[in-house]
Structure 1
Amino acid sequence: MDLKTADPKGLVRESYRIEGITGGECRSIFLDWALSLRPGTDTSEALRTLIAEYAAVAPGHPMNPVLEAGLLAPPTPARRGGRMGRASRPGARS
């Protein structure tokens, strides 16, 4: 994946340029980054691209563990609505 696709607004790139940035600020930027990805973008692949590009040249940067944690996050379960969602729960009425 190219960097333009992985970081369409350059948010992660700019976070590595901010001197004295904190972990909290990095987490906030990460959320903005995640919301800026185009629908259908493989988030894991985008994170691997960003880690390969930036983390290796900036060891100890507070964005590094934020990006790594993004890879470790479990996938979001799909919501089942309607009757199927209710029927799959123990004790649910049909």
Structure 2
Amino acid sequence: MELREADPKGLIRESYRIEGISDAECRSIFLDWALSLEAGTDQRAAMRLALEHYSTDPAHPMSLVLAEGVTQAAKAPTRRGGRTGRVSV
């Protein structure tokens, strides 16, 4: 994967350039970034590439958001309820 595929609009890059950016602002930018990826893009690989390329400070709010995204994406999805969960078989 190339960097232009991982950050097509440059949103992650720009977030690192904003002085005093907050965690909430980084999460909002992250959502916009996730929605801007092409269908079928490996989001976890894109997050990892953006983190490796742009992050110079591990304490930067965007670095924390990306790192959390990589670890959360690694978890297998779990069932969260629905009719089958409420009705015994």
d(CA) in 1 for partners of 2:76 and 2:39? 16
- Which 4+ runs in 1 deviate beyond 4 A? 75-78
Q: How does 1:19-34 map to 2 (within 5 A)?
A: 19-34=19-34
Q: How many angstroms apart in 2 are the aligned matches of 1:16 and 1:64?
A: 9
Three-state SS of the structure 2 residue aligned to 1:16 is helix
CA distance in 2, matches of 1:77, 1:34: 21
* Higher helix content, 1 or 2: 2
In 2, the alpha carbon distance for the partners of 1:59 and 1:72 equals 15
1:65 paired with 2:37, answer: no
- List gaps (5 residues or longer) in structure 1: 79-84
Taking structure 1 as the reference length, the TM-score comes to: 0.77
Please tell me whether Structure 1 or Structure 2 has the larger radius of gyration of its CA atoms: 1
RMSD: 2.2
- Please give the secondary structure, in 1, of the residue aligned with 2:48: helix
Identity %: 54
CA distance in 2, matches of 1:75, 1:50: 22
Scaled by the length of structure 2, the TM-score of the pair is 0.81
Q: Which amino acid aligns with 1:70?
A: G
Uncovered stretches (5+) of structure 2, i.e. residues with no partner: none
Partner of 2:44: 44
Deviation at 1:72, TM superposition (A): 1.6
